[in-house]
Structure 1
Amino acid sequence: MRLAVENAVIRLGGRTILNGVTLGVGPGEFVGLVGPNGAGKTTLLRLLAGLIAPATGRVTIDDRPLNDVSRDERARRLSAFFQNAGIGWPMRVREIVGLGRLPHRRTFAAESAADQEAIARAMAMTEVAGLADRIEPTLSSGERMRVLLARALCVEAEMLLADEPITALDPAHQLDVMALLRRVSHDGAGVIAVLHDLTLAARYCDRLVVMAEGRIVADGAPATALQDGLLRSVFGVTAQRGSHVDGGAYILPWARAGREPGETRP
């Protein structure tokens, strides 16, 4: 499956949030959307999910306009979760995860063996099986984030859209989730994730799309997309770079551009 947006413009509240954005993502790609606050990353993700419509431009699935694809087909082929998504009412964790199987079931039909296997698989992947009987309001923010990710993975869609999937997670679970998303993509699904941690984004993503002021300003492999000049102009930071003993390169935002490390200003 290839998900694409062409020359999209989004205007909200009299402001232009996206301005001429063109992007395509195919199977097996783990793409990180990065950029400063207010760059338009989550708006782009919502556009790709079909939650908002562009003023101009279009979104396509396999070159078909998104509006020509039925809701049922979209729900099976495209899965998304957003960090501020509401559950609606108190539910047990297993029930929440099970909602991801609704696109595969007829109305009022009971869970099939395949549904049950998919639910168990998604809960194991996100390490929430031990929370199965917990009610959603009793979860921590990090636990809730992993439950929402499990629900999205349970769809077993061809494309996964994830809005800040490692927000509120402790360092160990951040590493786990990034490794999981990379594994999902390498198993054949496309993954597009909004990320703020440039170190983890550069380490795990195959490709980074850098946004600023509603536009895409860089798109490529992490080492190509996160050049020093772009880090200064877009993020306002300088970075330290190096290589780990396993041979992997890393990038670490280090200081505000134009300031010495540790220097503060009023």
Structure 2
Amino acid sequence: MSLGLQDALVTLDGRTILSDMGLTVRPGRFVGLVGPNGAGKTTLLRVLAGLITPARGRVDLDGRPLAGLAREERARRIAALFQGGGVGWPMTVREIVALGRLPHRRAFASLAEVDEIAVARAMARTDIAHLADRTEPTLSSGERMRALLARALAVEAPWLLVDEPVTALDPAHQLDAMALLRSVSRDGTGVVAVLHDLTLAARFCDRLVVLAGGRLIADGTPEEALTDVLLARVFGVKAERGWASDGTRYILPWARSGAQTEERDDVTTTG
């Protein structure tokens, strides 16, 4: 099983957003898309979700063109959460999460037992069961993000694509969300997330894909991808590195390097 694209070109409003883009992801891995603002991370995620069609290249899901799949099948296979993806009217949290089961149900059909179980499981995993009867306008931004993440989890799709899943979350819930995504990947789901926090990305992701200027700059384990040279050239920062008390290695962006450039030629692919 795999989800990927090769040699893709994406243009929007006459501008090249992604070029020469190749990426393949597999189940059971937590992949982080990182890079400076405007690097093309969210666009790449939308391409993988089938929401944007490349001008050149195509997205394949398990060896089949994603564009050739029926919309219902695509929705069952790929769950996605993007920024700004609210619901727009005062639904309860339980109703919001239940929207994730729509790809598995006939139009206007009631929730089956298997749907109820999936909804309850998703709310429990995101720690929002106590919010089940609250309506969307009464939620904080962090609670809303967790409800939307639960909606994506309720699909129980083989692939989960999430855009900035820790945005608006407090530190404790950021850690919970990242641990949850890693746990979901360990259960066999392929997880791809756009992330800005390099410390969290390096700690929880199996693989980091670094983008800059619409191109792939590095692809590998966190240690392979986030080298001191790359951090200076792509992000313009210096980092402190060390070992936490539990034996986990960490990286912490600490100061500006003064050397940031939009690196387009020195592409490193390591995994």
Shorter-chain TM-score tier:
over 0.9
Q: Secondary structure of 2:57's match?
A: strand
1:224-265: CA deviation from partner (whole Å, max 9, x where unpaired): 000000000000000000011221100000000039xxxxxx
Give RMSD over aligned pairs: 1.0
Q: Distance in 2 between matches of 1:214 and 1:49?
A: 18
2:53 maps to 1:39: no
TM superposition shift of 1:12:
1.1
Q: Secondary structure of 1:56's match?
A: coil
2:12 maps to 1:19: no
Aligned to 2:243: 243
Matching residue's letter, 1:55: A
Consecutive unaligned residues of structure 1, counting only runs of 5 or more, are 260-266
Identity %: 69
Deviates more, 1:250-259 or 1:185-194: 250-259
Q: Distance in 2 between matches of 1:242 and 1:45?
A: 31
Q: Distance in 1 between matches of 2:109 and 2:10?
A: 39
Matching residue's letter, 1:236: G
The within-5 A match list for 1:186-225 is 186-225=186-225
Matching residue's letter, 1:75: A
Q: Distance in 2 between matches of 1:110 and 1:142?
A: 29
Q: Secondary structure of 1:17's match?
A: strand
Q: Secondary structure of 2:58's match?
A: strand
2:117 maps to 1:117: yes
Aligned to 1:79: 79
TM superposition shift of 1:16:
0.6
TM-score normalised over the length of structure 1: 0.96
Q: Which 4+ runs in 1 deviate beyond 3 A?
A: none
Q: Distance in 1 between matches of 2:23 and 2:53?
A: 16
Matching residue's letter, 1:92: T
Aligned to 2:67: 67
Q: Distance in 2 between matches of 1:122 and 1:159?
A: 15
Contact 2:86 2:148 in 1 (8 A): no
Q: Distance in 2 between matches of 1:74 and 1:34?
A: 25
Contact 2:240 2:252 in 1 (8 A): yes
2:131 maps to 1:108: no
Aligned to 2:170: 170
Aligned to 1:234: 234
Q: Distance in 2 between matches of 1:109 and 1:140?
A: 31
Consecutive unaligned residues of structure 2, counting only runs of 5 or more, are 260-271
TM superposition shift of 1:88:
2.9
Q: Distance in 2 between matches of 1:150 and 1:195?
A: 18
Q: Distance in 1 between matches of 2:165 and 2:258?
A: 31
TM-score normalised over the length of structure 2: 0.94
Q: Secondary structure of 1:251's match?
A: strand
